[in-house]
Amino acid sequence: MDNRQSDDPAALAALRWLVEAGADEAIGEIPVDRTAPAPAAPRPAPAELAEPAARAPAPPSEAPRRPRAPAKLTAASESQADAQRLAAAANSVEDLRQTLEDFDGCPLKATATNLCLFDGNPEARIMIIGEAPGAQEDRQGKPFVGPAGQLLDRMLTAIGLDRSRVYITNLLFWRPPGNRNPTPAEIAVCLPFLERQIELLDPKLLLLTGGMSAKTLLNRSEGILRLRGRWDDYRHPRLDDPIPALPTLHPAYLLRQPAQKREAWKDLLSFSQAMERVGLAEAANGAK
C-alpha cells in the first residue's frame, strides 16, 4: 500500500468531512470508491450465438430446488441462538465477561478496542442501562467514563447515588465504529447478554438513558422525548415480577442540549421517590 501522506487539498477536505461526520475509524485496508459507477453487467449472448460450452448446465430435473436463506441472515440468527445459549450458561457477570471475550457473533467486536460490559456494583439493586460505548469507553473497557459518564455521575450524586450503589451497563458491549447507530442485528445479538445481566441482578429499579435502550427494553416505538419521565414495566422473560423502569434523556444529549436538563431533573426526582418507595433510598444514602 502507498503510505505517502496526501497534500491534495480536496482529499484532505474530504477526510475532514468524514471525521466530522463521525467516520473516525478505518475498517478496511483498501479504500472503496462508493461513488464510482457500478461495473456494467456482461450482456447475455443471444442463445443462438452462445458457445455450447458457455451455457450454464441445466439443473438435473430430479434435483429438488430449495429456497436458500441469504447467508447473512443465517449467520445472524445462528449468532443470536449462540448468544442465548451462552448467556444462559453464565452464572455471574464475571462469567458473562469471559463468555463475551470469547464470543465472535457480534460484528462490532472486530472494530472495537475493548469489550465494555459494566461498571459499578454487581450486587446493586438499581441498574442503569445506556446505549453503546463511545471512544473513551472503548479505550478503557468501561461504560460511561467519557464526558457523558461524568455528567451521569453528577446526576447520580444529585439523588444520593454513586457507582458503588448502582450497576451500569449498555445495550451494546462494543463501540459501533464512529459512534454510528447500531443495526437491529447488532442489538439483537447483544440483547441475550443484557437480559442475563438483568436476570442475575434482579434489580428493583431500572433507569434507561436514551431512546435506544428505552425503546428496545420496553418494546415501544415512540421517541425518547415522549417516553421520558413515564414509568413503565420492564418484563423479563424469566423473572416473575415486572421491574419498574424509567426512561430518561441521555447525558450525551443533555451535553448538547443543556436546556433539557430541567426535564432530566424532573425524571431524577421521580426516580429518587421510587427509590424511597422500594426501600432503596436509605441504602443509597449509606444508612443501611
User: Which residues in this chain contact ligand URA in the complex, by CB under 6 A?
Assistant: 130-134, 137, 143-144, 146, 148-149, 170, 210, 252
Cβ closest to ligand URA, residue 131 vs residue 232: 131
- Residue whose C-beta lies closest to ligand URA: 130
| C-alpha separations of 17 from 33, 170, 255 in Å | 16, 29, 23
Question: Rounded to the nearest whole angstrom, what is the least distance from the CB of residue 133 to ligand URA in the complex?
Answer: 5
The cell numbers describing 27, all together, are: 475498517
Distance CA 205, CA 168 (A): 12
State the pairing for strand pair 126-130/167-170.
parallel
- Minimum distance from CB of 137 to ligand URA (Å)? 4
DSSP class of residue 161?
A: -
Q: How far is CA 151 from CA 138, 144, 248, 255, 262, in A?
A: 18, 9, 14, 8, 14
Question: What is the SS3 assignment for 128?
Answer: strand
- Read off φ and ψ for residue 73, nearest 5 degrees: -60, -45
Smaller CB separation from ligand URA, 143 or 229 = 143
What is residue 26's three-state secondary structure? coil
Closest to ligand URA by CB, 114 vs 272, is: 114
Of 107, 132, 106, 104, nearest to 117 (Cα)? 132
Q: 202 — alpha (psi -120 to 50), left (phi > 0) or beta?
A: left
Nearer to ligand URA, 147 or 242 (CB): 147
Cβ(116)–Cβ(141) below 8 Å: yes
Backbone phi and psi for residue 241, each to the nearest 5 degrees, phi listed first:
-100, 145
Residue 176 or 281: which CB sits closer to ligand URA? Answer: 176
Smallest separation, CB 283 to ligand URA (Å): 24
Residue 143 or 192 with smaller CB distance to ligand URA: 143
Q: Which is nearer to ligand URA, 116 or 281 (CB)?
A: 116
Closer to ligand URA by Cβ: residue 205 or 208? 208
SS3 246: strand
CA nearest to 225, candidates 263, 187, 251: 263
State the minimum distance, in angstroms, from the CB of residue 147 to ligand URA: 9
- Find the shortest distance in angstroms from Cβ 146 to ligand URA: 6
Alpha carbon distances (Å) from 223 to 149, 220, 226, 248 = 22, 8, 6, 11
Distance CA 177, CA 103 (A): 18
